[in-house]
Chains A and B, each alone.
Chain A
Amino acid sequence: MGNQHEDLKAIRDMMEKSTKFLSLSGLSGVSAGITAFVGAGFGYYYMSKKTLENTPYETSDLIILSLVTLGVLFISFALAVFFSRRKAHKKNQRLLNKATTYALYNMAVPFLVGGILCTLMLIRGNYEFIASITLIFYGLALVNASKYTYEEVHYLGLTEIFIGILAAVFISKGLLFWTIGFGVCHILYGLFLYKKYDK
């Protein structure tokens, strides 16, 4: 009789496995968090130095800070690919399959829209909502992609949106909330995912 239980479990597993990006490694989250910490640390150092020296912000400062942000993004993405690929190989699977493509596409839409919006705001000289908007659009991207991967990603997305709104309310603490959202949250959720699914 135990056979039917096993059959049903095999069916459920196969349905999930074939529709979800389950190679996502928790270490991707942890490494993204650490990278964000380093980037935010640099940003904080750079800005406090400017304040101490009492020199006004120039376009070149903006470019440097934007490049650091892009660097954080790029390194996080590369590490996410690296750790997820390792996990996929361990399970004898390719990283890129239909589910991965769906997850990436659903993530990319809000993500790119947010990116374009931020770029336009920077060009127009509206800086104060940048932290809030990056957090909110990243959160929306995660919520949107979460139906194709672990459900925890959904809650991480909601958390990022919530922190993004806080960053808009306490507008002078943008960097602090940015660090909590991209640094602390990624590390905590990443560790949780790693413990639950990567072992």
Chain B
Amino acid sequence: MSTIISKLNKAFESRIRLGIMSVLMVNESIDFISLKELLDLTDGNLASHIKALENFDFIEIKKQFIGKKPNTTYTITETGRKSFQEHLDALANLIG
């Protein structure tokens, strides 16, 4: 039992981070506003969780300009995909 629990990644303990990772698992990339709307969060709240996931090297941030408007998009990294998949497997295993 303890081995399974240890596989649950602490980085994904928050429901918000689970949400961000879920969206990025199935979307090639997503912009800040769409993500904010999907998760129903405030700017600050989302930004802090994004920062945390970025520090874990689970997501990548890409800044570019569409015309004159700055546009920030997020993608999942290989590490992020692998870690989240392991977390999903651990969750599924726990439920049995």
B-binding residues in A (CB < 8 A):
1, 4-5, 7-8, 10-12, 14-15, 17-19, 92-94, 97-98
A-binding residues in B (CB < 8 A):
15, 18-19, 22-23, 25-27, 30, 34, 37-40, 88, 91-92, 94-95
Whole-angstrom CA separation of A5 from B92 in the bound complex:
9
Q: Given A1-B94, A14-B38, A94-B37, is A19 in contact with B22 using a C-beta cutoff of 8 Å?
A: no
- CB nearest to B90 among chain A residues: A4
- CB nearest to A19 among chain B residues: B26
Contacts of B23 in A (CB 8 A): 14-15, 18
- CB nearest to A88 among chain B residues: B37
- A-side binding surface: helix, strand, loop or mixed? helix
Contacts of A94 in B (CB 8 A): 37
Nearest first, the 9 A-B pairs at minimum CB distance are A14-B22, A18-B23, A11-B22, A15-B26, A14-B19, A4-B94, A15-B22, A4-B91, A19-B26
Neighbour of B30 across the interface among A4, A10, A18, CB < 8 A: A18
- CB nearest to B12 among chain A residues: A7
Whole-angstrom CA separation of A4 from B95 in the bound complex:
7
